[in-house]
Chain A
Amino acid sequence: MRTIIMSPKKDFRISVEAEVISPDRLALLDIDQIKKLAVWQGNRQHILSDLFTVESDDSTATAGDTTVRLTGDFSKVKRIGEGMTAGVIEVQGSAGMHAGNNMSGGLLSIAENADDWLAREMRGGKVVVMGDAGNYVGAGYRGEKCGMRGGEIEVSGSVGAYLGEHICGGSIRIGGNAGDFAGAANQGGTIFIEGCSYLPGAEMSKGTITVKGTAKVLPSFQKMEVVQIDGQAYQKYAGDLVDNGKGELLVGSVRMV
C-alpha cells in the first residue's frame, strides 16, 4: 500500500485543473516525478509542487494499491480523479468540478461537498460524498447521448439540477433533495432520492427513479398502481410517454401543483 498526501500551498482564487491527481497517474512515480507533474491554473502551467505540498514514501505501487489523500481546501481544484481505474482518493474537504470524471474503477470519497459535474460519464467504481453535490452529478457531457454507464454514486446531502442526465447504467443514491429534472433522459440507470425533486424523469426511456419525498410529476407520466417498498407506499408512474418511454418513476408523496 502506498499513500500519497497532498495539500494546497495557498488559497486558489483562480481554479486549478489537476487531472493528474489520480492513483493511475501517481502510483508508479517517485515523489520527485510526482512533484514535477503538470497542473494548470488558468493559462499558467505549473508543476504540482508549485501549488501543492506532496508527501509520500518513495515506493511505487500499482494504482489499486494506492491511496491519494487530499487535505485542505480542494474546492477550486477541478478534475480530481479524472479517468481513474483503481485505488482510492480521499478528499478530506470539498472537491472542485468534474471530480471522478470518466472514472471506471476505484473509490473516490469526498468528506464535504462536491461541485458540479461530479462523476460525469462514470463507467465504474464508487463515489461517496458526505456533504452536498452540485449540478449534473453522473451526467453526460454537453451533446452526448450517454451519461454515467456504470458504478455507484452516493451523496449524503442534496444535489443540484440535472442529476444523472442521460444516465445509461449504474446507480445513484441521494440522501437529500435533488434539483430540477433529476434523471432526465434516463436510459437504464437507477436513481434513489431520499428527499424531493421537480419534474424527475423527463424523457426517460428506461431505468428507475425513486423519489421518497415529494415530487412534481410531469403530465406525460401515466399513473400506475401504488407499491410498497420497505414499508413505505409509493405511487408508481410509467413514462416518459412523450418518447414512449418505459421507465419507472416511484414517488413517495406527490405534490399536486
Chain B
Amino acid sequence: MALKQVQTTCPYCGAGCQIMFTVDADANKIVEAVPADGRTNEGTLCLKGHYGWDYLNDPQILTKRLRKPMIRKGGKKSPLVEVSWDEAISYVAEKLTEIKGKYGPDSIMGTGSARGAGNEANYLMQKFMRACIGTNNVDHCARI
C-alpha cells in the first residue's frame, strides 16, 4: 500500500480551511482526513471538513455520480442517452452556434460556479462567454 499525503483547501464555505489527506495511491482511496495548519483554520475543522469527503467514492445515497456525457436525443422529456465526449462537445458547439446565429449572442446565458470548480474554470467560463459567444451574460450563485 503506497500512502501519500496531499494538502488541499476544504470545498465547503468560504473559511478556506486546510485539510491533510492520507491517500492509498494504489487503491485510489482516501484513508484519512485530518485538519492541517492553515492560515484561517489553525488545525481545526468543522463537521463538513472532517467528514465531508466520502461522496468521492460515489456511495449512491442521494444522487448518482455523473460518469458519461449524456444527451436527450428526442428533445425535452425524452430519456438521457450516454454519448462519447466528441459527440457531446460537437453537439453543444453546433447548438450554441445555431442559437447565436439565429438570435444573437445575448440569447445565451452562462454561469460560473462558486463551488468546487475553482478559479481557473471560472476564468475560462467568462472568457468563453465574452470572447467566444460575445456576450456579458455570465453570472454565478453569489446572489443565491
Q: Do A and B bind each other?
A: no
